Amino acid sequence: MADAASQVLLGSGLTILSQPLMYVKVLIQVGYEPLPPTIGRNIFGRQVCQLPGLFCYAQHIASIDGKRGLFTGLTPRLCSGVLGTVVHGKVLQHYQECDKVETTREMMARSAATLITHPFHVITLRSMVQFIGRESKYCGLYDSIVTIYREEGILGFFAGLIPRLLGDIISLWLCNSLAYLVNTYALDSGVSTMSEMKSYSQAVTGFFASMLTYPFVLVSNLMAVNNCGLAGGCPPYSPIYTSWIDCWCMLQKEGNMSRGNSLFFRKVPFGKTYCCDLRMLI
């Protein structure tokens, strides 16, 4: 019980600290660029046309809504984190005695937590995206629940769920498979320093797995806000997608599959120009 409580407290603390970062990331994923690009230099010293990074973007939000505005959507995200931690632990404990592969148990626990917490995830994203059109449609947790149920029904709470689940599952299996291959074949277990390196292999492979499955995160977030009555979920920022596969194909066609993946050294993509009126790249 104490262990679960400590996990909840730690997770809540990290959620609060990372909230401004997620806020900026979500707005970039939608395609909102409130500040024009500037001429800067990349890590090799070459001149490039750069988009504002995390700190400039966050400063812009704070200049409009104050520093408190950087924590928009924090309440539903905290609810999602606490509930997810509890569900994940309960499901993992339930399957602890079952004769199943460890990765399979973890997959079931993660999937259950994602399924249960996704409505809060949708509310979090929509409360952030309404910054673009300065709407106040998704302000309180209760009002947001009522609004989604009245306009979209139960299915509205699970918008973008499928790509999010697929991304989590693929990332988990990819991470554990890569870690197994590295630990088994790339590292010599007979050397003491190699045994220490094995403890870091899971984190490294997890990073690469998350990079490879990032398009699922992007598509899931875009589908969660698509056609929900907010300016950020409608044209010109976002087409009205018929399905998450349609969203995936559209992003791939436009070369936007990694949009929002980097918050620093954001170079203007080749062939794109900045539109001051729309505050986006076209």
Assess whether pLDDT exceeds 80 at residue 2: no
Rounded Cα–Cα distance for residues 274 and 35 (Å): 9
Task: Look over the chain and give the mean of its residue pLDDT values, rounded to a whole number.
Answer: 89
The CATH superfamily label for domain 1-281 reads Mitochondrial carrier domain (1.50.40.10)
Split at pLDDT 50, 70, 90, the class of 138 is: very high
Asked if 95 contacts 108 with a C-beta cutoff of 8 angstroms, the reply is yes
Task: Determine the average pLDDT of the residues in 72-79.
Answer: 96
* Ramachandran bin of 229, using left for φ above 0, alpha for ψ from -120 to 50, beta for the remaining angles: left
Task: Determine the average pLDDT of the residues in 263-278.
Answer: 85
pLDDT of residue 71: 97
pLDDT of residue 192: 46
Split at pLDDT 50, 70, 90, the class of 224 is: very high
Q: What is the pLDDT of residues 182-221, one digit of tens each?
A: 777 766 555 445 555 656 667 788 888 899 999 999 999 9
Assess whether pLDDT exceeds 90 at residue 158: yes
pLDDT of residue 187: 60
Q: What is the pLDDT of residues 17-61, one digit of tens each?
A: 999 999 999 999 999 999 999 887 777 777 888 899 999 999 999
pLDDT of residue 189: 52
- Please give the structure tokens belonging to residue 276: 């001051």
Assess whether pLDDT exceeds 70 at residue 144: yes
pLDDT of residue 191: 47
Q: What is the 3-state secondary structure (H, E, C) of the chain?
A: CHHHHHHHHHHHHHHHHHHHHHHHHHHHHHCCCCCCCEEEECCCCCEEEEECCHHHHHHHHHHHHCHHHHHCCHHHHHHHHHHHHHHHHHHHHHCCCCCCCHHHHHHHHHHHHHHHHHHHHHHHHHHHHCCCCCCCCCCCHHHHHHHHHHHHCHHHHHCCHHHHHHHHHHHHHHHHHHHHHHHHHHCCCCCHHHHHHHHHHHHHHHHHHHHHCHHHHHHHHHHHHCCCCCHHHCCCCCCCCCCHHHHHHHHHHHCCCCCCCCCCCEECCCCCCEECCCCEEC
